[in-house]
Amino acid sequence: MSNHRIAILTDSTSDLPADLVQEHDIHVIPLYVLWNGEQLRDGVDIDHATFYARLPNDPAHPTTSQPTPADFVNMIESIDADEVVAICISEKLSGTVASANAAKGMIERPLHVIDSGSVSMGLGWQALAAARARDEGATAQEIIAAVEEVRSKIEVVFTVETLEFLHRGGRIGGAAKLLGTALQLKPLLTIRTSEGIVESLEKVRTRKRSLSRVVEYISENIDLGRPMHAAVMHAEAQDEAEALLQELRSRVGNAELLIANVTPVVGTHGGPRVIGIAAYAE
């Protein structure tokens, strides 16, 4: 392996568990939660427990904002590396990719910016693939290829307790057509990396049925015979997340399975008790 050091950078909407971030030396740049005049760094100034405790009771609804180009420059300049690969939230959902690209002209070292076309662990698995390729001695181009391979295979499916938060945050995308049919639905939603927006898969009436469909959808769309990587992502729905993980475990043989907490920025749009799975097969 050469002495050429490559840093892997992702943003806080990747929802990567802290132990994996540490183990693979991944740098995480926070997005912002803007709430009642406060600018809070996602996962730094506000954690998910504090956020979800405050969300239902605060009359002011939070909004979110991407890191600035200067935020990227400051973080990259603090990293001891010759080159940086940054994998970011879908540019259709956030201006984070644009900020990272703007930072390119402000730094000396090469910065490769990848639009994941996704969010939460749909992004997290791509960042992890980058770090694992780097750990095995891959070049920047090989790392980018590893990310693109995961991006082409990733499936993200989730359900929300209410569409209200996606609607408020303007992130409802192709699921907007569900709005007229009442906010009471527990729809099955997806983010396809080719589109990078929230889309509706099917209308489901009950929470219980929507949770079953999340697992069924993954089982139908991923080859369970291959080694699989799957994350159950949730906001304050730990019991349901563990039940989904058990259900997945019973269906797949060789798998890397984990539970990820949805960060405040993602939770601003998904709302409390959003739950889903991001998975791909090798």
**Each residue's pLDDT expressed in tens, for the chain with a length of 282 residues:** 445 799 999 999 999 999 999 999 999 999 999 999 999 999 999 998 899 999 888 888 899 999 999 999 999 999 999 999 999 999 999 999 999 999 999 999 999 999 999 999 999 999 999 999 999 999 999 999 999 999 999 999 999 887 777 766 555 555 555 554 555 678 899 999 999 998 889 888 889 999 999 999 999 999 988 999 999 999 999 999 999 999 999 998 889 999 999 999 999 988 889 999 999 999
Angle at CA 106, nearest 5°, toward 105 and 109? 85
- 256 contacts 230 by C-beta, under 8 angstroms: yes
pLDDT in tens, 81-122: 999 999 999 999 999 999 999 999 999 999 999 999 999 999
Residue 195: per-residue pLDDT: 93
- Give the whole-angstrom CA distance, residue 134 versus residue 75: 19
Q: Are 130 and 146 in contact (CB under 8 A)?
A: yes
Domain with CATH 3.40.50.10170 in the chain: 6-31+66-152
Q: What is the DSSP string of 165-192?
A: HHHHTT--GGGGGGGGG-TT---EEEE-
- Arithmetic mean of pLDDT over the chain: 91
Fold of the 154-281 domain: Hypothetical Protein Tm841; Chain: A;domain 3 (3.30.1180)
Beta strands in the chain (DSSP E): 6-11, 26-29, 32-35, 38-41, 63-65, 83-88, 111-115, 155-159, 188-191, 198-202, 228-234, 255-261, 275-281
Residue owning tokens 């991006």:
151
Query: Residue 1: what residue type?
Result: M
Was domain 6-31+66-152 assigned CATH 3.40.50.2300? Answer: no
Q: In the chain, where does the domain assigned CATH 3.30.1180.10 lie?
A: 154-281
The answer to whether residues 201 and 132 touch, using CB atoms and an 8 Å cutoff, is: no
Q: Which two tokens stand for residue 25?
A: 């030396």
Question: What tens digit of pLDDT does each residue of 146-181 get?
Answer: 999 999 999 999 998 877 777 665 555 555 555 545
Residue 180: predicted pLDDT: 46
Give residue 169's pLDDT. Answer: 56
pLDDT value, residue 170: 59
